[in-house]
Structure 1
Amino acid sequence: MSAILVTGADLAPQALALLEGFEVVYAGKTPVESDLVALCRAHDPAAIIVRYGKVGAAVMDAAPSLKVISKHGSGTDTIDKAAAQQRGIEVVAAVGANAAAVAEQALALTLACAKSVVGLNERMHAGHWDKATHKSIELGGRTIGLLGLGAIGLRFARMADAMGMRVIGFDPYAKNLPAFVAPVDLETIWRESDVVSLHCPLTEDNRGMLNASTLAQCKRGVIVVNTARGGLIDEPSLLAAVRSGQVFAAGLDSFAVEPMAPGHAFQGEARIVLSPHIGGVTTDAYVNMGVGAATNLLAVLNRH
């Protein structure tokens, strides 16, 4: 019986039903490379489903029968794709499986920033009534700039359009965009956006794309939202921009290092709203991503 290694502690029952006939091996919630190498040596899996941790050359070399690495989600930056290609191993992703969940998280963070949801809640619980002194930001009529117009970016674009926002977007690979999304260059995103929201995969080309230079090109008081990958943002530059008022507020669901280390500079910063990379973590998305990952790896194995 061929084995499938899951770099996590579980998989949706609907996904497991598709993988009947395989031995499914779990690496646990926080697998490190040595764990994965040992499991690959012990079980020689035909496929790996990647949930947590990184899969690099050492893991691949420990599994001679490995044909496919399937991401439980859409972002494949934790998989060494060059190493996989050299070894003839296919890398596939469950693109769009968590689009609704992540787009909703982006909307939640945008609204939390614009409406000071977290700060006002804390003040109210402490017995304050700030009606006479507080003004929220109205998003209707404002411009939102989306970096990445894949399944998640376009879903969020629809939400922003429904709220009466002007939607502009940068994505060199996007085609057949809906009429309510105006494609623009990066300079226009920085210059014209009242809200900048990141929805692109992390590559070596765009690492740190939101940095001191690009933040300085933005409107003063811009809102920054990131539900994509933490590495897209230079974190010290964002912190400085929030503290100076160049950035009004930031809503972040992903970080350069995860889990976030205790004492991270973002902690305790009133105008940074934080969530622990759970944008894609809903009951529905868990099933969709598991089924997508299983379906994708079966399609590859069936060709071999």
Structure 2
Amino acid sequence: MRFFAKNKKYAGWMAISLERDCARIAHVTRPANGKPVLEMLTSFPNAANMIETLKLLKKQLNAQNYRYSLMLSQGEFQLLSVESPNVPPDELKNAMRWRLKDMLDYHIDDATIDVLDIPADKAIQGRAHSMYAVAARNQIISERQAAFENAGIPLDVIDITDLAQRNVSVLLEPEGRGLALLSFDGNGGLLTVSYAGELYLSRRIDISLPQLQTKDADSKNAIYERIALELQRSLDNFDRQHTFITTAKLVLAPLGDEISKDLQAYLAANIYMAVEVLNFADVLDISKVPVLAHQDSQQAFFMTIGAALRHEETVL
């Protein structure tokens, strides 16, 4: 199973994310003209028993009509930035395994690995550039594949949250400029910067959505300060490393109406770029799923929708 495998048998993606209390599912299609269409959004409780959850999903859907992707949870994979090996394309994977063997906390032979390029400045030729390597334990990949096989659902792609967020970011990018996108969930925060459809930066922030939901004013202000400081450092460093990219603005993923407004106002006053809040209705056709008009639903399904927005990746 490849992280970025290709399969063009069906149109649209049915993305599944298994979370602590439920499984979330989103189906998105991309018409030739107009916004991507959110065709379906649903969830199933008690995702701890993956096979039973998938069997329940199969009962409610005509499974063979969809391409399925499963998004790994944070902690089930590592996304590592490494210098691109100077080797022919057909030797890249092996060379990357040597690069990663001392970066993982388990043996490299127990890892499934794939790579994602970070395009360099086209005006500068011959300079080494970075790549992202995705690594996950073989055991995790095998267990996920077996669960889908036992449930009778074809699994086409195993995906990751960082690329799911990139898929949303691409819809928001101004022409010729980069876009920073910041999300929070129960696992923490994720800052990404995309440019020309590519993921250039992915950085975790050790602040979770429940922490943002605190009612204590002093605690909330301290958390906001930490977020602003982390953003300023990360974006300043990004600007120094990628001088050919101008980041147009920071967009906050949905967090709920009150938190989104408060955090937007704080960040707009404390960082150097414009700050906006994402509304999926601006970039998706959500007419078939009106519940997504609510910010709470947008927050809960943010990553799953991002996974369903995937385009086929360039396999290296």
TM-score of the two chains, using structure 1 as the length reference: 0.26
TM-score of the two chains, using structure 2 as the length reference: 0.25
Flag the structure with more relative contact order, 1 or 2, with Cα contacts below 8 A and sequence separation at least 6: 2
Q: Which has the larger radius of gyration?
A: 1
